[in-house]
Chains A and B, each alone.
Chain A
Amino acid sequence: QKEVEQDPGPLSVPEGAIVSLNCTYSNSAFQYFMWYRQYSRKGPELLMYTYSSGNKEDGRFTAQVDKSSKYISLFIRDSQPSDSATYLCAMRSNQAGTALIFGKGTTLSVSS
């Protein structure tokens, strides 16, 4: 079993739709959870950064962490064509400087 599982998609939605992206993980030591957005030929751009369980909202984006289920989600409301990208989940333990463990990424396409 891989440490982090993420459905690669592709996921295609119409403009304005609510998008749900998810990752599951197996290592209970993970405490910090991140979502990165990666456009073609660009590096990963940090979208959301959360600690432990709970929700965090930033504009149209909401990150949820359920440590009891080892499950994290990213919701995108009112999706836009500019949201078309690959979304990577990442996580690490409590020790600063430890490696980020990434999912493979989900490719999202939002059509106008």
Chain B
Amino acid sequence: SAVISQKPSRDICQRGTSLTIQCQVDSQVTMMFWYRQQPGQSLTLIATANQGSEATYESGFVIDKFPISRPNLTFSTLTVSNMSPEDSSIYLCSVVESRGDQPQHFGDGTRLSIL
């Protein structure tokens, strides 16, 4: 399966600041997603990153808070804006490699702590 790299792997940030997380895949993929994994909670989909157009956000997530880019078929970024302690979480990139009923594969995530 594709190799998915996320940067940074972890960070500690001050409240009110923003952080951009990068997801790089070693091959072209059809779909890219961003998830959040909060302590004691299920992984939750934030949005689907669409190449060349605006991301599709799930209920409860908005573009102003989580702007997403996907300039090509191998790269996407997620920005966590105006961070508060409630944003402390693991943020995960996942991909579907090809069309059809293929499973999602995940990167190792970005562990974010907000002070």
Which residues from chain A sit less than 8 Å from chain B, CB to CB? 4, 8, 32, 34, 36, 41-46, 49, 51, 88, 90, 96-97, 99-105
Contacts and interface: CB of A to CB of B under 8 A. Distances in A.
B45 to A, nearest CB: 4
B104 interface: yes
Contacts of B107: 43
A34, A42, A45, A96, most chain B CB atoms within 10 A: A96
Contacts of B100: 96
A54 B107 CA distance: 29
A42 B42 contact: no
Interface string B96-111: 1001110111111101
B40 interface: yes
Contacts, number: 51
Interface of B: 1, 4, 31, 33, 40-45, 48, 58, 92, 96, 99-101, 103-109, 111
Given A88-B43, A97-B48, A100-B43, A44 B106 contact: yes
14 contacts: A8-B40, A32-B101, A32-B103, A34-B103, A34-B104, A36-B106, A43-B92, A43-B107, A43-B108, A45-B106, A46-B103, A51-B101, A96-B100, A102-B43
Contact of A100 (B40, B45, B111): B45
